[in-house]
């Protein structure tokens, strides 16, 4: 779901799971909801969010759910160099990310040019390329302001 779309409901998440031929479980619904609510969240943040709804959920259940959701293409896992794994609900468009070198905040960046995978390799070495991962690094507006002050 894009940022301009309506907020998804539990029923929407259940339907997404069924559409991906995944069994609907409370942890999976809660994890999918957390990833939608917290763009670019790390695992610990997702666990905290899930436990607001399911206090008894184990770390392993959240990890297993994240793995299943990622494998099914409902969630995207990103891990910028030097950062913990993060998860997002924006999938299927091969967008990129910008990461603040100071505070670590991550933001989406739309594809620079062309169709996925956005960038054409000078030599694909015989690979069939279906995705390009680009991470831009710099300072976010808050950290830029702090450094220049």
- In the annotated binding site for Zn(2+), the residues are 100, 103, 140, 143
Residue 105, C-beta contacts closer than 8 angstroms, at least 6 positions apart: 99, 140, 142
| Exposed/middle/buried for residue 124 (C-beta within 10 Å: 0-12, 13-18, 19+) | exposed
**38 vs 59: CA distance, rounded Å:** 18
Place of tokens 């990310």: 97
Inter-axis angle of helices 26-37 and 10-19, nearest 10:
110
- Please state the residue numbers annotated as binding site: 100, 103, 140, 143
């Amino acid at each position: 779901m894009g940022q301009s779309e309506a907020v998804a409901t539990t029923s929407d998440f259940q339907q997404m799971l069924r559409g991906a031929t995944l069994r609907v479980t409370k942890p999976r619904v809660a994890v999918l909801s957390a990833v939608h609510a917290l763009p670019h969240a790390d695992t610990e943040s997702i666990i905290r969010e899930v436990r607001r709804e399911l206090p008894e959920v184990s770390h392993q259940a959240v990890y297993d759910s994240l793995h299943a959701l990622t494998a099914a293409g409902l969630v995207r896992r990103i891990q910028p160099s030097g950062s913990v794994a993060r998860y997002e609900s924006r999938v299927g468009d091969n967008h990129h990310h910008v990461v603040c070198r100071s505070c670590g905040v991550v933001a989406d960046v739309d594809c620079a040019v062309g169709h996925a995978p956005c960038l054409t390799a000078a030599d694909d070495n015989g690979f069939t390329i279906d995705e390009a991962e680009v991470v831009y690094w710099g300072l976010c507006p808050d950290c830029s302001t702090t450094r220049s002050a």
